[in-house]
Structure 1
Amino acid sequence: MSESKPRPSVLFVCAHNAGRSQIAAAFLEELTGDQVRVRSAGPQPGERVNPLVVQAMAEVGIDLAGRTPRQLTDETVGVSDVVVTTSGADACAVLPGQRHEDWPVEDVAGQDLDGVRAIRDDIRARVERLAADLATRREAGDR
């Protein structure tokens, strides 16, 4: 019986967990299935996922209608191997040994649908690169 390789945990953080981090988490879940534990949260969670985000993601076959923004906690950060923040989400301390990336992605708040689509596509490209890197590291036995 072969020894299973550790499954990395990724946390996406944006200010309200109502847009960018929800998009990123959904794309990573779609790309990696159960190979990666995916979470998203925000230091000031909104009441709901931005309706234009829900619409833009539905256009690419991902349903975010049932998702709700979540509160960022020290525990959530602590169990994450990789923490990805988006511009304006600096309220997240990174612990020793964690990998941290900051993605300079525009906020979806105040955007029209075309603006949200552009942000969605930017995030998708970033998530695809992250997923490929995580797969390479996992094969090498490194988180």
Structure 2
Amino acid sequence: MNDKPTVLFVCVHNAGRSQMAAGWLRHLAGDRVEVRSAGSEPADQINPAAVQAMQEVGIDITGQTPTKLTWDAAEASDVIVTMGCGDACPVFPGKRYEDWKLDDPAGKGVDAVRPIRDEIRHRVEQLLTGL
């Protein structure tokens, strides 16, 4: 039996916000939390500006791949954090939900992504204290 909490970060493309959040949680929690991320309509690749912004703080997310949100991934998660996917993010009964209102880094340069990255870190730190 695994007693580690499992957190699933979900956004539309699973290429920016959810990948940065997953990177932060892996970095800050280590192996104390199981971390997943997914998208309702995954992109072909992670947003290069998100990759660069995370590299600037010493976190490498280049090995991650945008993944399609599945019922199984949601069902196996204790906490589901949605980020700007609105009605595209389905609701799964019996799960703890947080909906983070964050700017979408899609199509933005690294200068615009840095504040999003930093806001995500703050929220991940708060989430971690509540797990």
Could you say what secondary structure the match of 1:55 adopts?
A: helix
- 1:15-34 per-position Cα deviation (integer Å, ceiling 9, x unaligned): 00000000000100111111
Deviation at 1:101, TM superposition (A): 0.4
Secondary structure of the residue aligned to 1:90 is helix
User: Does 2:54 match 1:72?
Assistant: no
Q: Give, in whole Å, the separation in 1 of the partners of 2:64 and 2:2.
A: 29
- Per-residue CA deviations over 1:51-82 (Å, capped at 9, x if unaligned) read 11110000000111221101110111110110
How much does 1:94 deviate?
A: 2.8
Runs of 5+ consecutive residues of structure 2 not aligned to the other structure:
none
Is the 8 Å Cα contact of residues 11 and 89 (structure 2) preserved in structure 1? no
Task: State the SS of the aligned residue for 1:40.
Answer: strand
TM-score of the two chains, using structure 1 as the length reference: 0.87
> Pick from 98, 123, 128: which aligns with 1:126?
123
Residue in structure 2 matching 1:19, options 12, 16, 20: 16
Choose which of 80, 88, 94 in structure 1 pairs with 2:85: 88
Percent sequence identity over matched residues?
Answer: 56
Instruction: Tell me by how many angstroms 1:89 deviates.
Output: 4.6
Looking at structure 2, the residues matched to 20 and 101 of structure 1 have their Cα atoms a distance apart, in angstroms, of 14
Matched, 1:60 2:83: no
Verify the 8 A CA contact 1:56 1:113 in the aligned structure 2.
yes
Match of 2:104 in 1: 107
- 1:95 is displaced (CA, Å) by 2.6
User: If the length of structure 2 is used for normalisation, what is the TM-score?
Assistant: 0.94
| Mapped partners of 2:86, 2:51: distance in 1 | 21
Q: Please identify runs of 4+ aligned residues in structure 1 that moved more than 3 A.
A: none
**C-alpha separation between the residues in 1 aligned to 2:103 and 2:50?**
13
Change (3 A) 1:27 1:92: same
Question: How many correspondences in the alignment?
Answer: 131
Structure showing greater Rg:
1
Structure 1 segments unaligned to the other structure (5+ residues): 135-143
Root-mean-square deviation (CA), in Å? 1.5
